[in-house]
A = this chain, B = another copy of it.
Amino acid sequence: MAAGILQCRRFMLKFLGLYFFTYLQYYSQTADARIRHYKWDVKYEYKSPDCYKKLVITINGRTPGPTIVAQQDDTIIVEVMNSLITENLAIHWHGIRQRETPWSDGTEGVTQCPILPGETFKYQFKVDRPGTYLYHAHYGMQRTAGLYGLIRVSVRDGDSEPFAYDYDRSIILNDWYHNSTYEQATGLSLPSTNFIWVGEPQSLLIHGKGKFNCSSTVASSPSWVCNESNPECSPFVITVIPGKTYRLRIASLTALSALSFEIEGHNMTVVEADGHYVEPFVVKNLYIYSGETYSVLIKVDQDPSRNYWMTTNVVSRRPPTAPTGLAILNYYPNHPRRSPPTPPALGPIWNDTEPRLAQSQAIKSHHSYIHTPPPTSDRVMVFLNTQNTIDGYRRWSVNNVSFNLPHTPYLVALKLNLHHVFEQTTPPTGYDFKNYDIYSKHNNSNATSSNAIYRLQFNATIDIILQNANTMNINDSETHPWHLHGHDFWVLGHGKGKFDIYKDPRQYNLVNPIMKNTVPLHPYGWTALRFKADNPGVWAFHCHIESHFYMGMGVVFEEGIERVGSLPSSIMGCGDARGLGRP
């Protein structure tokens, strides 16, 4: 009897221990804010997100990983245990500015050395603004293996938002490949004569679930590899109550695809973008690019006797692309698995840039939450986006310089004056505006690779003009979502064609520009941004398409390095940073 009780107690203790290990989140109430403490175990597992079984990287057994739910001013601590056997790891907290904690940005090669297998790395940062943010792997092409998730930060107690809703729901969109990140990266690393492009994804996932047509494979797969009736890949369902209003937080972490998202029969009112309140506007299709987050409001006001499709489709890439991604908006009390009686939407025309540009231009700051940008800038840089062949390799470049990461993180190198670990030149801040034809195919044979960075004067106001151009294929220009770490920027404008440094700035929106951390550069277009270099640290700014950044489409900014506090030794395990900063 006593033994039985003892055994039961042991079991309970074990169970509780396990529970705390797999998802430990405790609340330490302080005067204003709480500490939210997570313990994550990151490992490879077999999963079938789109019915096709493959190795994915999970956090505590899940992909997408757990949503971090916090309140403004909270401190987030995530202890990441790397259980990937022989592979390293780094996790970026996308949209979190990391003020006073630049070493927690999670960008391998920029702010930290990678986390080794068997090691635990502690990320600690403050979520200083409400809104919808992301996290994902930021090392090699590891993000495409499934290490990603959401961060939801609510307003302070007593604060209100400029819109009302009954319930808050989240959706992460993603595209999904069946080959491994190693296979993808190896193909991209081959000389251009043998270059293997990653190609279009096999599926689109809505909140981690998609449906691959198992009989569509060139080599048809046995049912233990691909099984469309596997419950793991049953469509994602959001159950809604008629009459209510829902806030949907919609995020994209695609490797490649620009997406449209729509909910059959329901308009969406856009109210938040990348953590900033938007002057509300209504869309039927929401265009969303990798690295962006939006909140939309929907009213549950349609025929309550049925369910509705939520669909996502690829835009800006030539078909055939991945088939429509499907989820179900389930009108309670209909059965959540009941398919809507109508065919799912196939989305807008893939190469119609106009409505995408129009949406980009429609996003303005909410009138009660305007952060007015400085009226002028201290430094203007124009970044021409091109595809090149450099030393026989296919690369992406900015002003004909293709970016390579160094093996000693910049943050450590700059703080500790290890100037030999990366090139000390300044990359170009413009291109041959006068003569370069952005509409034609160029060889750009003078392009080079470099790990040099831009050093910004602290507190300076910086303007960046992203200039799109033709790729190495005739009549082809791609969409590039550019993401800035450590900052939000004002989106001053989007335009078509070659940016005119004399005329176009006159059209800048200096009144109510939205602030964002990720913004699309449309085909053959330009996008103008402004930001204050007011966050001491070293920050990546790059195309958020995984393969594009891997192929060199990024730059790095340093600002106020002398104001960065003492670096934790945990970021210093590699290159010339090895063993530095140890107490």
| Interface, chain A (partner B; CB < 8 A) | 43-46, 55, 85-88, 113-114, 116-119, 139-142, 180-183, 185-187, 189, 196, 217-222, 225, 407, 569, 572-575, 578-582
Contact call A86/B180, Cβ cutoff below 8 A: no
Contact call A140/B85, Cβ cutoff below 8 A: yes
Bound complex: CA of A217 vs CA of B117, how far in Å? 34
Contact flag A579-B572 (CB < 8 Å), given A87-B86, A186-B46? yes
Most chain B beta-carbon contacts within 10 A, residue among A114, A196, A579: A579
Q: Select from chain B the residue with minimum beta-carbon distance to A142.
A: B86
**Number of copies of this protein chain within its complex:** 2
Contact call A182/B85, Cβ cutoff below 8 A: yes
Q: Select from chain B the residue with minimum beta-carbon distance to A179.
A: B55
Find chain B residues with CB under 8 A from A46 CB. 186-187, 196
Bound complex: CA of A459 vs CA of B582, how far in Å? 37
Q: Select from chain B the residue with minimum beta-carbon distance to A116.
A: B574
Find chain B residues with CB under 8 A from A222 CB. 218-219
Contact call B119/A574, Cβ cutoff below 8 A: yes
- The minimal Cβ–Cβ distance linking A187 to chain B, given in whole angstroms, is 8
Where chain A touches its partner, the secondary structure class is: loop
- The minimal Cβ–Cβ distance linking A205 to chain B, given in whole angstroms, is 21
Bound complex: CA of A428 vs CA of B579, how far in Å? 37
Contact call A139/B86, Cβ cutoff below 8 A: yes
- The minimal Cβ–Cβ distance linking A540 to chain B, given in whole angstroms, is 17
Find chain B residues with CB under 8 A from A186 CB. 43-46, 55, 85
- The minimal Cβ–Cβ distance linking A259 to chain B, given in whole angstroms, is 26
Contact call A407/B118, Cβ cutoff below 8 A: yes
Of the candidates B116, B185, B569, which one forms a contact with A85 in the assembled complex, judged by CB atoms under 8 Å apart?
B185
Find chain B residues with CB under 8 A from A116 CB. 88, 113-114, 116, 407, 573-575
- The minimal Cβ–Cβ distance linking A462 to chain B, given in whole angstroms, is 30
Find chain B residues with CB under 8 A from A142 CB. 86
Further contacts, 12 of them, CB under 8 A, given A572-B579, A573-B573: A44-B182, A45-B186, A55-B182, A55-B186, A86-B140, A119-B407, A119-B575, A217-B219, A218-B222, A219-B220, A578-B582, A579-B581
Bound complex: CA of A468 vs CA of B365, how far in Å? 73
Find chain B residues with CB under 8 A from A575 CB. 116, 118-119
Find chain B residues with CB under 8 A from A44 CB. 182, 185-186
Find chain B residues with CB under 8 A from A180 CB. 55, 180, 182
- The minimal Cβ–Cβ distance linking A390 to chain B, given in whole angstroms, is 15
Bound complex: CA of A25 vs CA of B55, how far in Å? 39
Q: Select from chain B the residue with minimum beta-carbon distance to A137.
A: B86
Find chain B residues with CB under 8 A from A569 CB. 578-579
Nearest 5 CB-CB pairings of A with B:
A579-B579, A118-B407, A86-B140, A579-B582, A219-B219
- The minimal Cβ–Cβ distance linking A145 to chain B, given in whole angstroms, is 10
